[in-house]
Amino acid sequence: MKHKKILLLMIFTSGLFLRLFLLRKIPSGVTNDEANVAYDTFLLTQAGKDQWGKAWPLEFKGFGDYRLPAYQYLLFPFIKIFGMDPWVIRLPTAILGSLSILLIYFFVCVFFKEFKQKENLALITALVLALNPWHFGMSRWIMESNVGLFFALLAIFFILRNRKKDWLWAGISTVISFYTYYSLRFFLPLFLFFLIFFYKKWPKRRIVSFVFLIFIFCLPIIFSMFKTGGGLARVKQVNLTHDMGLVGQIDEYRNACLKNTLFLKKEPIHQGVKIICTILFNRPVFWTRQFILNYFNHFSFSFLFFEKFERAFQFLPPHSFFYFFNLPFFIIGLSALLLNFPKKWRFLIIWLLIAPLADSLTGSDHYARSFVMVAPVLLFIAYGYWAIIVFLKKRFAKKLIFITTPFLTFYLLFTIQFFFKYFTYFPEKQSKYSHYAYKPLFNYLKTLENSYDNIYISRKSNNERQYIFYLYYNKISADKFFSSQITREEEANGWIIVRRYDKYHFIDEVGQIKKYPPNSLLVVGPKEIKKGKVIEVISFLDGKTAFKIFETNELFYKNN
């Protein structure tokens, strides 16, 4: 037993080291979401208010995306003590991501409590999680879904352990997860309903106490959501029913259907065809179709095991969420669990089936909204490894080391390859996606801003809420922020655009202003202006141009 504890400590320490190593520099930049979360928390430490002047909010309006508050309040003591350095603002997700390695170990021990080799299986699961690319990458930048997963796992763990006061700890963990990430408000109630009523079959008194606890502590969420409309606004922003591209596609199909059936001159026939076109091409039909496509995309091997996912470039190099060689072990683990532990198999399958529902309502294969899938997939993979080890041990006990050495070498090689890609290729080649260039840009502009009356920054090539980087990198104090001139504009979908902060103007494109005031600076993307004297070029780490800076005194712009 002692050596298993030592192995667990080694796995946890390795996972912690990987999640903390070079955390200040990699990812190489700070994303707009990270800067937004960090700066709101910074204002809280100084004034107890967010960017919108709201005291201790339960929803942070930010860019109009209404982020939930748990991460900001977890981050509060870190920023209060250490400031807003990148490694500081990422500490909560790195620490809780590392603690998830320990948590998954104890989770497996409780889940397979009747299994004699549960500690060995738990060690394999902890190791697979510690080295998993998806979980590793999500643990190294501000991502509420990673923190939310920890508390969701904690809630499920306490329900499975089912000691006298565990319903209380499960309820508290569930409440924290509800204050952490929106999709967990969809996943956890469905999964906990299954868990409590069908899997563990709690007595009614305990169920009532558990639900009452969650309801009482979630009342502020309900009041805040309907008072500010924040949560509802967020749903509208990401809900596929508000996807204007999909709506336009529906109209296009319906119009084509009607237009090309006009040859049916007889009115009854024409009216009948019109009804058919309306039935075939309407929003409920298309939304249902899109939801089903979105849902099943989450189970495609290309999403999970092969290098398909481009939107993950902010936190991962080109790589699959799970190592491709884990695919056969996933299939073996799923099959072996069905044969050996049918009740356990049902539990994990329900988890896996419910996990993508929230993301399917908003889009397809989103790395954060579908992140809760990582746990059941890893458990299937780990059990697949265990099943193969048992099979080989029974038949080739004396040759086991010779049989497994080639695969272990293969596993080690591709694992090391991933981490080398992450720590060498990723920070330089993908610095564009982690918004690296804003740090040198605003550091440079800071040295010049007192010499110019206005600074114009075009959003055309780099529409990443530039104002927040100015506030973050310059650590603008609460007193200065709330006393400065800020011009905001709200779009139809609820997103907020900051048009001006003090002497900084954030414009849609250079052509928006026909004649710039003298003694001003203009910051544009690499191809926006073809002629003019460039006073400075800001580059990404790979050497590609991110921004060009011009003096308007030496620039005449008219459709060039």
SS (H, E, C) 375-441: HHHHHHHHHHHHHHHHHHHHHCHHHHHHHHHHHHHHHHHHHHHHHHHHHHHHHHHCCCCCCCCHHHH
Is residue 258 located within the same domain as residue 360?
no
Residue 559 located in a structural domain: no
CA distances in angstroms from 221 to 59, 185, 373, 446, listed in the order given: 8, 11, 25, 40
Domain C-terminal end among 375, 405, 426: 426
* Sheet strands (E) in 411-533: 454-458, 486-490, 496-501, 504-507, 520-524
Is residue 194 located within the same domain as residue 227?
yes
Residue 558 confidence (pLDDT): 42
Residue 560 confidence (pLDDT): 42
CA distances in angstroms from 507 to 117, 482, 487, listed in the order given: 62, 22, 12
Is residue 306 located within the same domain as residue 401?
yes
Residue 19 located in a structural domain: no
Q: Are 517 and 552 in contact (CB under 8 A)?
A: yes
Domain C-terminal end among 403, 426, 449: 426
Residue 283 located in a structural domain: yes
Is residue 419 located within the same domain as residue 443?
no
Residues facing residue 534 across a β-bridge: 550
Is residue 263 located within the same domain as residue 345?
no
Structure tokens at 255: 């119009």
Residue 560 located in a structural domain: no
Is residue 291 located within the same domain as residue 304?
no
For the chain, the domain total comes to 3
- State phi, psi for 505 to the nearest 5 degrees: -115, 130
Q: Report the alpha-carbon distance of residue 46 to residue 80 in Å, rounded.
A: 9
Is residue 177 located within the same domain as residue 39?
yes
Structure tokens at 404: 């497994």
List the one residue out of 348, 340, 321, 323 whose CA is nearest residue 386.
340
Residue 23 located in a structural domain: no
Is residue 363 located within the same domain as residue 420?
yes
Q: Average pLDDT across each block of 10 residues of the chain; the chain has 560 residues. List them in order.
A: 89 97 95 96 97 93 91 97 96 97 97 91 96 96 95 96 92 96 92 87 89 92 68 56 63 69 53 70 76 88 78 86 94 92 89 92 82 96 93 78 81 94 94 94 95 94 88 97 93 86 93 88 90 90 94 60
- Sheet architecture: strand order including 496-501: 486-490, 496-501, 504-507, 454-458, 520-524, 545-551, 534-539
Is residue 211 located within the same domain as residue 66?
yes
Residue 365 confidence (pLDDT): 75
Residue 431 located in a structural domain: no
Which residues are CB-contacts of 61 (< 8 A; sequence separation ≥ 6)? 50, 51, 52, 54, 228, 230, 496
For residue 145, count other CB atoms closer than 10 A to its CB: 22
Domain C-terminal end among 395, 426, 457: 426
Residue 377 located in a structural domain: yes
Q: Provide the residue range defining the domain that includes 370.
A: 2-13+29-235+298-426
Q: Are 144 and 34 in contact (CB under 8 A)?
A: no
Is residue 175 located within the same domain as residue 245?
no
Is residue 290 located within the same domain as residue 389?
no
Is residue 370 located within the same domain as residue 506?
no
Residue 497 confidence (pLDDT): 92
Strand pairing report for 520-524 and 454-458: parallel
Q: Report the alpha-carbon distance of residue 422 to residue 512 in Å, rounded.
A: 40
